[in-house]
Structure 1
Amino acid sequence: MKSEALQFDQKIQLITVSFDGIIKETDNNLFDWKKGSSIYGIHPFFEILTHLQDDQDTKEFSFPCIHFENNGSENICDVSVKIDLSEIAIVFFDYTNKYNELNQSAQQRNESILISKELELKNKFLLEKEEFKNNFIANINHEIRTPLTSILGFVEVLEKTKLSFDQEELTRIIKRDSQHLHALIDDMVDISKIESGKLKIVEERFVFKDLIEGLNEAYAIIAEEKNISFETHIDPNIQEYILGDRMRVYQILNNLLNNAFKFTEEGKISLVITKNYQRTNKLSINFKIEDTGMGILEEHLDHIFDRFARFTENKQISGTGLGLAIVKNLVDKLNGEIKVSSEPEKGTTFNIKLPFKFEITKPAPERKKKKYFLPDTKKKFRILLVEDEETTQYLVMKILISHGSFYVDLAINGEEAIKCIERRNYDLVLMDLRMSKVDGYQATHMIRNNYGDEVISGVPIIGFTSNTQESERDKCLRSGMDDFITKPFKREDLIYIITKQIAKKAAD
């Protein structure tokens, strides 16, 4: 107990001072100040004593956190001053450690606040950067798809005319490179969806063999053109109908096969599909794509799935470097695995394992695409095309008029479209979504809600846009449109969707 009291006493020092500042008594527990010396010379703080003596009302004062030098070190003290009739009593309470701890805590708190603020700003920057990137890609997607629609559309029209051999060859090149550009745009949109977490995995029932045969037919033609061998083999034990995301599986295999054909000039390419295991209604399938192409250096294999990774100096081999990055992300999304092995000048092998489900009971046959026919009438059907791009206007009009069953009127925005339908009855409206003044959504809403005339309010409306996102289709249908077609489109797809809506309206 005595030891504890001594420790406590060592943190306090008491001195008495005369009114003229001479130290009369001191215990020197904290500071070695001599009796008889002037306190005013010790520290500037004590100059305050001359003013405190003039205060007739208050005789006791407290001053926190005063810094004093002591043999090269610094003490932080709270100081109490009491003035009586004969002298001034001053008490020093040494709180150096406590103030240092508080200061450290405050500093840590400030640093924590700064770090939190920095993370908040970084997160805000990343969100703004992501939003800018997505908006940029969406705008680029729209701006490129619009002229690309015209290029591919007019090539299809041109193919149906009488062409010389040279003209057919030039048309084929234009079509091939336009389709390649279309694929690059799709890659950019897909990687953006994947990175933003907007890519949805859809489980559907499909005929597995049909998926592979579709790939086989497409790449057999390319193999013949390049004079290389292409073989596919499917394990006969794999169920006919399986459950999974058909589109994403197709995308994975298509990207890998496209890559194999791109880097293989001679030899062969093979796609071998085998069953890994089957448990209850779960199924694991292995896809092996092997080529005899230029191969990949070992030091590049770790980066093969990086975005924009390109490991060839051959400028004749085009691409964005996004294909394999998309493949890896899609495989991960499907809870699968992908491995790659390669040897320069000998070829590359990709092995992908993907999980699926299958139905134990035999499902009903797949529904085929329903056929529709225009109503049997001698009159032509009148279409209102609402589109502000001149080349797209000309393309659609060329396709529809050459078909022989349609008249086409033109409006360049929603406002003009409203005026047109008020003057004339239409069998169908092709409505672009992005237009000045009144856009496609607004125009559709007005047509559906502002007219009591069923001929006007019930006219079939097909949304017409370069935005390929599923949300855009949903938005079109919610706004009152009957269907949706994306740019670029094939001639037969446009005719089919128009025929379908006119036939359905006539059947009502």
Structure 2
Amino acid sequence: MKNYHEPLQFHQKTQVTSVSFEGLIIDTDASLFDWKKGDSIYDIHPFFEILSSFIEDHNGGSESYNFPCIHFEHGDDERICDVSIQIDKDISIILFDYTLKYSDLNLIAQQKNESILLSKELELKNKYLQEKEAFKNSFIANINHEIRTPLTSILGFVEVLEKTNLSFEQEELTRIIKRESKHLNSLIDDMIDISKIESGTLKVVEERFSFHTLIKGFEESYTKISEEKGLVFETKIDDNIQEYVIGDRTRVYQVLNNLLNNAFKFTEEGSVTFSISKNYQRTNKLNLNFKIEDSGFGILEENIPHLFERFTRFNHDKQISGTGLGLAIVKDLVDLLNGEIKVSSTPDKGTAFNIKLPFKFEVTKNTTQERKKKKYTLPKTKRKFRILVVEDEEITQFLIMKILISKGTFFVDIALNSEEAISYIERRTYDLVLMDLSLSKTDGFQTTHMIRKNYGDPYISEVPIIGFSGKASETARDKCLRSGMDDFIAKPFEQEELLYKITKQIAKKAAD
């Protein structure tokens, strides 16, 4: 939609409004409501909160949405409108005033029989639930970002603290802080996954990965936990299972990790056994069975049918934390992967979960070689590398500065917003830019676009840029790459991951 410097009135019962991606009104013909340029569209009516989720999912193309029968109030003016939303370079909102039409229809509806009225009521309730669901998903996405930002700082500074000279008691306290922070992060992940599953936005991503490496990771992690709790942990894997398989590694990890975590959480003595075997193999298709057995508290038979319901917890020991979402997510993910899950349990003797999951494998490729993470080193130079951090959260600024300056090979400059970032890169040459995606006014995507498109100087336009955000998803990463960034890192991040990505981009740039 173009900017309407001279508002074009399509119809006396129509209002056309142009809105920026920040939610501010750029222009409006104000033919129905006296909205003003610069007003926030979100303050005008709760309905417009749905724009947040549309903007987040926007992939750069043109998208349209239509909503009937929305009740608007502005001052003394009340109207019932159909709403058309078009998202392109900015957001176009068109209101069609059908107040009289809907009033007439309502009068007719009142004359209909009770069954028609009931049908209309159900339709309106369904519409209300859809709007409520859209608002909820938008709210969860925003809360996700707001929580992950301080959590990044907590985990980051704990890692910095761990590298200092600590007493035994201080080491124990930092270990507890780190453990509980990671637990909080996992609870956030549970909330986001439930929201994605409900909205149908959680997709299966098939990739080739080392299955044996995945299982070895579980073996190493839970062996340490078993030693801490004084339990026996045993892993059994069929030797005939292929080294590399094709499937959604992230979701498989999530299912197995949730079940193993539960097994250790509810087992005070005895053992936990993790077994993997083949169900069948045909052409390039493979079906595996995962069995996780423990000698823990067990579950009463009458409770087993409710085991996968959300917010269900049968053990009331307050020392055992959790939201009651873990097994519900496991069941949803297994269904999403076209698998099966069964459980058997005896109180005070233990529980066994059996999961069947389908995979594929490549029959023509040599899968004996394990892919390794490529190593990168900073170019040899007598000077320090200069990094620009574009971030408006003071605590995150300090954390990144602390990490980078402690290495002794970096200078760090801080820009609070897009304007400062542009000013800095015009005056200094940078080896890399760390760009927060959720900057106020002009966000990280738009700032990156300006850097890439507005300068002929390659030292500016081709500087490596890494985006970072609390919205940890493949969608965020893909949007970063499409906007011209070179990489993405999610909050909360570990020091090693941040340094690896910075080193990688500087090394790649030097090799060009």
Amino acid in the other structure paired with 2:505 = Q
Q: CA deviation at 1:113?
A: 4.6
Structure 1: where are the runs of 5+ without partners?
1-105
Q: 1:415 aligns with which of 389, 408, 419?
A: 419
Within 5 A, what are the aligned runs for 1:23-42? none
TM-score, reference length from structure 2 = 0.77
Q: 2:398 aligns with which of 382, 389, 394?
A: 394
2:491 equivalent in structure 1 = 487
Aligned CA distance change for structure 1 residues 126 and 504 (closer, same or farther; 3 Å): same
Report Cα offsets for 1:25-76 as digits up to 9, x if no partner.
xxxxxxxxxxxxxxxxxxxxxxxxxxxxxxxxxxxxxxxxxxxxxxxxxxxx
Within 5 A, what are the aligned runs for 1:186-265? 186-265=189-268
Contact 2:110 2:117 in 1 (8 A): no
- Partner Cα separation in structure 2 for residue 434 and residue 357 of structure 1: 39
2:371 equivalent in structure 1 = 367
- Partner Cα separation in structure 2 for residue 280 and residue 461 of structure 1: 44
Amino acid in the other structure paired with 2:403 = I
SS of match in other structure, 1:273:
strand
Within 5 A, what are the aligned runs for 1:230-379? 230-364=233-367, 365-379=369-383
Contact 2:211 2:244 in 1 (8 A): yes
- Partner Cα separation in structure 2 for residue 153 and residue 479 of structure 1: 27
- Partner Cα separation in structure 2 for residue 369 and residue 110 of structure 1: 69
SS of match in other structure, 1:377:
coil
1:404 equivalent in structure 2 = 408
Contact 1:289 1:351 in 2 (8 A): yes
Aligned CA distance change for structure 1 residues 115 and 213 (closer, same or farther; 3 Å): same
Contact 1:428 1:461 in 2 (8 A): yes
Q: CA deviation at 1:166?
A: 0.7
SS of match in other structure, 2:323:
coil
Percent identity of paired positions between Structure 1 and Structure 2? 75
Amino acid in the other structure paired with 1:210 = T
Q: CA deviation at 1:116?
A: 4.3
Contact 1:232 1:270 in 2 (8 A): yes
- Partner Cα separation in structure 2 for residue 238 and residue 321 of structure 1: 33
Q: CA deviation at 1:421?
A: 1.1
2:435 equivalent in structure 1 = 431
Report Cα offsets for 1:182-240 as digits up to 9, x if no partner.
11111111111111111111112222211111101000000000001000100112222
- Partner Cα separation in structure 1 for residue 363 and residue 479 of structure 2: 37
2:153 equivalent in structure 1 = 150
1:383 equivalent in structure 2 = 387
Report Cα offsets for 1:135-171 as digits up to 9, x if no partner.
1211111111111100100011111111111111111
- Partner Cα separation in structure 1 for residue 440 and residue 499 of structure 2: 27
Contact 2:432 2:463 in 1 (8 A): yes
Contact 1:428 1:502 in 2 (8 A): yes
1:139 equivalent in structure 2 = 142
Q: CA deviation at 1:112?
A: 5.9
Which sits farther off after the overlay, 271-280 or 318-327? 271-280
Report Cα offsets for 1:57-113 as digits up to 9, x if no partner.
xxxxxxxxxxxxxxxxxxxxxxxxxxxxxxxxxxxxxxxxxxxxxxxxx99975565
1:504 aligns with 2:508: yes
Contact 1:230 1:268 in 2 (8 A): yes
1:455 aligns with 2:459: yes
- Partner Cα separation in structure 1 for residue 481 and residue 245 of structure 2: 30
Amino acid in the other structure paired with 2:457 = D
Amino acid in the other structure paired with 1:276 = N
1:46 equivalent in structure 2 = none
Amino acid in the other structure paired with 1:429 = V
1:182 aligns with 2:185: yes
- Partner Cα separation in structure 2 for residue 224 and residue 271 of structure 1: 16
- Partner Cα separation in structure 2 for residue 206 and residue 277 of structure 1: 20
Which sits farther off after the overlay, 358-367 or 424-433? 358-367
SS of match in other structure, 1:403:
coil
Report Cα offsets for 1:345-384 as digits up to 9, x if no partner.
1111101111112222343534321111111101001110
Aligned CA distance change for structure 1 residues 107 and 184 (closer, same or farther; 3 Å): closer
- Partner Cα separation in structure 1 for residue 126 and residue 479 of structure 2: 30
Amino acid in the other structure paired with 2:393 = E
2:477 equivalent in structure 1 = 473
Root-mean-square deviation (Å): 1.6
Structure 2: where are the runs of 5+ without partners?
1-108
Contact 1:462 1:484 in 2 (8 A): yes
- Partner Cα separation in structure 1 for residue 365 and residue 379 of structure 2: 38
1:87 equivalent in structure 2 = none
SS of match in other structure, 2:351:
strand
Amino acid in the other structure paired with 1:460 = P
Contact 1:255 1:323 in 2 (8 A): yes
Aligned CA distance change for structure 1 residues 477 and 350 (closer, same or farther; 3 Å): same
- Partner Cα separation in structure 1 for residue 243 and residue 500 of structure 2: 29
Q: 1:160 aligns with which of 155, 160, 163?
A: 163
- Partner Cα separation in structure 1 for residue 117 and residue 110 of structure 2: 10
Amino acid in the other structure paired with 1:143 = E
Which sits farther off after the overlay, 148-157 or 365-374? 365-374
Contact 1:415 1:437 in 2 (8 A): no
1:89 equivalent in structure 2 = none
SS of match in other structure, 1:437:
coil
Contact 1:463 1:483 in 2 (8 A): yes
Amino acid in the other structure paired with 2:228 = E
- Partner Cα separation in structure 1 for residue 112 and residue 355 of structure 2: 50
Contact 2:417 2:440 in 1 (8 A): yes
Contact 2:211 2:245 in 1 (8 A): yes
1:441 aligns with 2:414: no
Which sits farther off after the overlay, 125-134 or 323-332? 125-134
Aligned CA distance change for structure 1 residues 445 and 362 (closer, same or farther; 3 Å): closer
- Partner Cα separation in structure 2 for residue 196 and residue 306 of structure 1: 18
Aligned CA distance change for structure 1 residues 440 and 362 (closer, same or farther; 3 Å): closer
